A = this chain, B = another copy of it.
């Protein structure tokens, strides 16, 4: 159980995303043996792809690497609560455990809103561990959006 160092890798991906002007979220997929199979940050702007969330990219990369649609027994570390879309791909990929950092009451789809794993239509429900390195994960997001608001000025002024 080395989730702090894996979440640190996810945080590093989130920081790299922020440096590129992307919303700072990062994700890492770890094999049952503890090997990092894939890591990614958000790239929706760079790729012009609304699906290019960190966890989506990490799951795709891990699947491509293992040449399989299923990541049975693998863990996912992500700095923000997955949205409905990402919860869907996590279920489809049969990820065993999800460790996430910051809660996302606005756009989350795991503990909030659609609660994708909490319906019979979710054929797979991973174990969920929330609040991992939550303060660091939240701080990155807060800093990013504060800076963006500052740059864009007060549009309501």
Which stretch, A11-19, A45-53, A135-143, A149-157, touches the partner chain B? A45-53
Determine whether A92 belongs to the interface, using a CB cutoff of 8 Å to chain B: yes
CA distance A92 to B45 in the complex (A): 12
Determine whether A116 belongs to the interface, using a CB cutoff of 8 Å to chain B: yes
Which stretch, A30-38, A105-113, A125-133, touches the partner chain B? A105-113
Considering only residues 83-135 of chain A, those with a C-beta below 8 Å from chain B are 83-89, 91-93, 106-109, 112-116, 119-123
- Name which residue of chain B comes closest to A107, CB basis: B121
State the copy count for this chain.
Answer: 2
Contacts of A45 in B (CB 8 A): 69
Contacts of A116 in B (CB 8 A): 84, 109, 114, 116
What is the minimal beta-carbon distance from A84 to any residue of chain B, in angstroms? 4
Q: Number of A interface residues, CB 8 Å?
A: 41
Pick the most buried of A109, A112, A115: most chain B CB atoms within 10 A of its CB.
A109
User: Could you say which of B63, B66, B121 contacts A106, with CB atoms under 8 Å apart?
Assistant: B121
What string of 1s and 0s marks CB contacts (under 8 Å) between A45-77 and chain B? 101111100001001100110111110000000
Contacts of A93 in B (CB 8 A): 50
Contacts of A85 in B (CB 8 A): 84-89, 91-92
Contact (Cβ within 8 A) B44 A51: no
User: A residues within 8 Å of B by Cβ?
Assistant: 44-45, 47-51, 56, 59-60, 63-64, 66-70, 83-89, 91-93, 106-109, 112-116, 119-123
